[in-house]
Amino acid sequence: MHVDFLTIFPELFGGPLATGPIRIAREKHLLEVGVHNLRDYTTDRHLMVDDVPYGGGQGMVMKPEPLVAALEHVAAEGSPRRILLAARGTRFTQAKASELAMLPHLVFVCGRYEGVDERVAPFVDEELSIGDYVLSGGEIAAFVLIDACVRLLPGVMGKEASHVEESFEAGLLEYPHYTKPQEFEGRPIPEVLNSGHHGKVAAWRREQAERATRERRPDLWARRKDETPKGA
């Protein structure tokens, strides 16, 4: 996989790209990363990437020229999936992470200020958001997306099947986990986990996952129930 980031703050990417699964993927040559400073694609002496909005209003708007020039540059070879990180975008999900992880080349456009000039829209394939709140810029959202995608690449995680049982993979939150000691502060681990009976353990985990989803994310539970075929 090759991933390009378009940003006005390339210095933000040093830490996230050098730790965890992303570092492992890069060391194993499963991931190549390019970080591009949008100011390098400006044509004026002040390296302006933003300007006041037409019609008035607060804040500044990112100009279309540097963004489109950068997009055309990184997309010169091949056909990458071009994604704008924006608060108004479609909600990012585990299913979307799985979809993106299958693609060979992604380009993340990190917006800033009050937003991006609307005329950039035809040059991106989709807009994604990581939640119903506003960030200072798209960089943090881009970190979330790349982390979620890269850990799904074969050879990155310690166990190839480890992500299959994680939260959201089956429309459920993940079941609770326990490790040593067997008792902590008077609280023992559930007896079933010491039974050695894989079927009973699997059933308990499924039950706990369903319970957690019903109690903590009724929206997920309702959606899952709506999508489950009758009789399943």
Please say if the pLDDT value at position 151 is more than 90: yes
Which long-range contacts (C-beta less than 8 Å, at least 24 apart) are formed by 159-167?
165/205, 166/94, 167/94
175 and 112 within one domain: no
Cα four-point dihedral sign 7, 16, 137, 147 = positive
Q: Is residue 156 part of a domain?
A: no
Are residues 145 and 59 both part of a single domain? yes
Tokens 């958001």: give the residue. 129
**What is the share, in percent, of the chain residues with pLDDT greater than 70?**
93
Q: d(Cα 119, Cα 187) in Å, to the nearest integer? A: 58
Q: Is the dihedral of CA 129, 130, 133, 137 positive or negative?
A: negative
Q: At residue 26, does pLDDT exceed 80?
A: yes
- Whether the pLDDT of residue 1 is over 50: the answer is yes
Same domain for 66 and 41? yes
Segment 12-18 mean pLDDT: 95
Confidence at residue 145, expressed as pLDDT on a 0 to 100 scale? 98
Tell me, what's the pLDDT at 230?
A: 57
21 and 102 together in one domain: yes
Residue 160 lies in a domain: no
pLDDT of 197 above 70: yes
Last residue of a domain, one of 150, 178, 207: 150
Residues 81, 140, single domain; the answer is: yes
pLDDT at 168 over 80: no
Handedness of CA 223, 228, 229, 232 (dihedral sign): negative
Read off the CATH number of the domain in which 15 is found: 3.40.1280.10
The answer, yes or no, to whether residue 161 has pLDDT greater than 50, is: no
Q: How many structural domains are present in the chain?
A: 2
Which range marks the domain in which residue 216 is found?
A: 167-227
Round the average pLDDT of the chain to a whole number and report it: 91
Q: Do residue 61 and residue 174 come from a single domain?
A: no
* pLDDT tens readout for residues 41-82: 999 999 999 999 999 888 999 999 999 999 999 998 789 999
Do 142 and 192 belong to one domain? no
Does residue 84 form part of some domain? yes
